Copies of this chain bind each other. A is one copy, B any other.
Amino acid sequence: MSHTLYDLIGLAAGVAFILALKGLSHPKTARRGNLIGAFGASLATLVVFFHTNEDSSLPLNNLGWILGAIAIGLVIGVPAARKVQMTQMPQLVALFNGVGGGAAALVAIVEYLNLGDKATTAEVIFTVFTVIVGCVSFSGSIITFMKLQELMTTRPVIFPAGRFIIAATLVSVLGVGGWVVNSLGTTPLLILAGLSLLFGILFVLPVGGADVPIVISLLNAFTGLTVAASGYVLDSTLLIIAGTLVGASGTILTRLMAEAMGRSLFGTLFGAFTAKPQDAAAAGEERPVRSGSPDDVAILLNYARRVVIVPGFGLAVAQAQHTVRELADLMISKGIDVAYGIHPVAGRMPGHMNVLLAEANVPYDQLAEMDEVNPTFGQTDVAIVIGANDVVNPAAQTTPGCPIYGMPILEVNHAANIIFLKRSMRPGFAGIENELLYDPKTMLLFGDAKASLTKVVSALKAL
């Protein structure tokens, strides 16, 4: 295969990666995007077997080893990815990212050994870069994996003088890196790799459980850059493009993720050192809830077949009746089956919800009484509870003696997903805590109901 053709196919794979990322940024095209990416990657892998240039000829050297290694990789990777449970996917991604970083570091090392003295300074610099970042990514990812898999504590691990140790490690990594560039040699390179691995561990240990996904995303971007650097050393446009793409999009993505979780990137990475340890402990005491963004809510709604809206006093306080109707209309126009589940004592006056919803001209036939709607929650994909609380509180059925015990409730707990729109974790009229807020099926969208709904509507329109 001519070098030009090879390069062109490589470029085509690069284009496939661009299209893959583009596709992955939209729910409608995400799956197709991923397939395009897989196609690009397969293409690139395939043609490398037919690639010849001045100093190599077909078939490749060590072809057996190569094919065997690929087979092993397949045997490990595919079943792992196939069998993993939904909830464990993040740690698997972390692991995959780590091995990718490791691979990049190994490639750099081998090429370094191979080039020996022929290496230009630039090539050595890129090699050093790849080794450092690849190793950090590798060991860092392993730690995040262990945290997520709960093989170790999910709390930030703080040790005395932690920041000094980390700083010292970083300085020595850079020092050894400089040494390698100046004097070349295998030993310094291996020392460099070792120190970088250590740094990766130290770097991730202090990060708290909730922030781990952000760190994975950052390490992912890092790995991308190592791939780009390897591309330079191996003179492969494809690797440069693919690596840069991942590096750039990964960086943006990391920032977006941090924003979506309401954290600063800096705080995530170095928070454990700046914050006082007892804070972290105190935060650990609170029971975890799952809070989402308007986008998350919109996506849940967009892919639902049946949605039940449960309004309560908070809807009236927020005067969000017009907005909720807009949301319902939008869902209906998307072919989603929408009903309002009206609890007889929702609000603060008999018929309070009716007054509100009539004002927004919600057709009467969309309103369902409690007895009518309760049996349908089993077939409901999403129950969206807007400023209601007591009327969906399972304590009414499960906690004899509590003030609302015996009151019939809207059984939203039977729906596949529950979304709560409220401003805080405060209880409702009866003043008792609602266990449903802590249910794993529940997603909380904090904020004034009207503001939240407006955002959900925009997000849903954008899908």
| Separation of A119 and B360 alpha carbons in the complex (Å) | 74
A384 to chain B, nearest CB (A): 19
Question: Could you say which residues of chain B place their CB within 8 Å of the CB of A29?
Answer: none
Q: Which residues in B have their C-beta under 8 angstroms from that of A360?
A: 322
Q: How far is the CA of A359 from the CA of B360 in the complex (A)?
A: 7
Q: Which A residues, 277 to 334, have Cβ-Cβ distances below 8 Å to chain B?
A: 319, 322, 325-326
| A361 CB within 8 Å of chain B | yes
Q: Which residues of chain B are near A153, meaning CB under 8 Å?
A: none
Which residues from chain B contact A319 at a C-beta distance below 8 Å? 361
A26 at the interface (CB under 8 A from B): no
- Whether A322 contacts B458 by the Cβ 8 Å rule is no
Closest to A458 in B: B461
Q: In the assembly, what is the distance between CA of A361 and CA of B325, in Å?
A: 14
Once the chains are docked, how many angstroms separate the CA of A190 from the CA of B146?
72
Q: How far is the CB of A431 from chain B (nearest CB, A)?
A: 31
Q: Nearest chain B CB to A79's CB is how many angstroms away?
A: 43
What is the predominant secondary structure among interface residues of chain A facing chain B? helix
What is the oligomeric copy number?
A: 2
A458 to B360, CA, bound (A): 20
Task: State A319–B319 Cα separation when bound (angstroms).
Answer: 20
Q: Complex formed: what's the CA distance from A359 to B326 in Å?
A: 15
A448 to B64, CA, bound (A): 68
**Min C-beta distance of A356 to chain B, whole Å:** 11
Instruction: List 9 A-B residue pairs with CB atoms under 8 Å apart, sorted by A's residue number.
Output: A319-B361, A322-B322, A322-B325, A322-B326, A322-B360, A322-B361, A359-B361, A458-B458, A458-B461
A359–B358 Cα distance when bound, in Å, is: 9
CB distance from A368 to the nearest CB of B (A): 22
Q: Point out the residues of chain B lying under 8 angstroms from A461, CB to CB.
A: 458
A326 neighbours in B (Cβ, 8 Å): 322, 326
- Beta-carbon contacts under 8 Å, A432-463 to B: 458, 461
Expressed in whole angstroms, the Cα–Cα distance for A360 and B461 within the complex equals 21
Q: Which interface residue of A322, A325, A326, A360 has the most chain B CB atoms within 10 A? A: A322
Per the bound structure, the CA–CA distance linking A360 and B359 in Å amounts to: 7
* Chain B residues with CB under 8 A of A322: 322, 325-326, 360-361
Query: How distant is the Cα of A461 from the Cα of B461 in the complex, in angstroms?
Result: 12
**8 interchain residue pairs of minimum CB distance:** A322-B322, A458-B461, A359-B361, A322-B360, A322-B325, A359-B359, A322-B361, A322-B326
The docked-state distance in angstroms from the alpha carbon of A360 to that of B458 is 20
CA distance A360 to B322 in the complex (A): 8
Minimum CB–CB distance for A301 against chain B, Å? 17
Q: Chain B contacts of A359 at CB under 8 A?
A: 359, 361
In the assembled complex, the Cα of A322 lies from the Cα of B458 at a distance in Å of 16
Which residues of chain B have C-beta atoms less than 8 A from A458's C-beta?
458, 461
A359-B361 Cα distance, complex, nearest whole Å: 8
Task: For the complex, give the distance between the alpha carbons of A458 and B455 in Å.
Answer: 11
Q: How far is the CA of A325 from the CA of B360 in the complex (A)?
A: 12
Q: Which residues of chain B have C-beta atoms less than 8 A from A361's C-beta?
A: 319, 322, 359
- CA of A461 to CA of B454, assembled, Å: 10
Besides the known contacts A319-B361, A322-B361, A458-B458, 6 further A-B residue pairs in the complex with CB atoms under 8 A apart: A322-B322, A322-B325, A322-B326, A322-B360, A359-B359, A359-B361
Give every chain B residue within 8 A of A325 (Cβ-Cβ).
322
Q: What 0/1 pattern do residues 108 to 134 of A give for CB contact below 8 A with B? A: 000000000000000000000000000
**Alpha-carbon distance between A319 and B325 when the two chains are bound, in angstroms:** 14
Closest to A321 in B: B361
Please give the distance in Å from A362's CB to the nearest CB on chain B.
11
Cα distance A319–B322 when bound, in Å?
13
Within 8 A of B (CB), among A150-203: none
Chain B proximity of A22: nearest CB distance (Å): 14
A114–B458 CA distance with the chains assembled, in angstroms: 59
0/1 interface trace, chain A 350-379, chain B, CB 8 Å (1 if under): 000000000111000000000000000000
Cα A242 to Cα B461 in complex, Å, equals: 35
- A88 CA to B360 CA, complexed, in Å: 48
In the bound assembly, the distance between CA atoms of A461 and B326 in angstroms comes to 15
Closest chain B residue to A360 by CB distance? B322
Q: How far is the CA of A360 from the CA of B325 in the complex (A)?
A: 12
Q: How far is it, in angstroms, between the C-alpha of A325 and the C-alpha of B319 when the chains are bound?
A: 14
CA distance A95 to B325 in the complex (A): 52
How far is B359's CA from A325's CA once the two chains are assembled, in angstroms?
A: 13
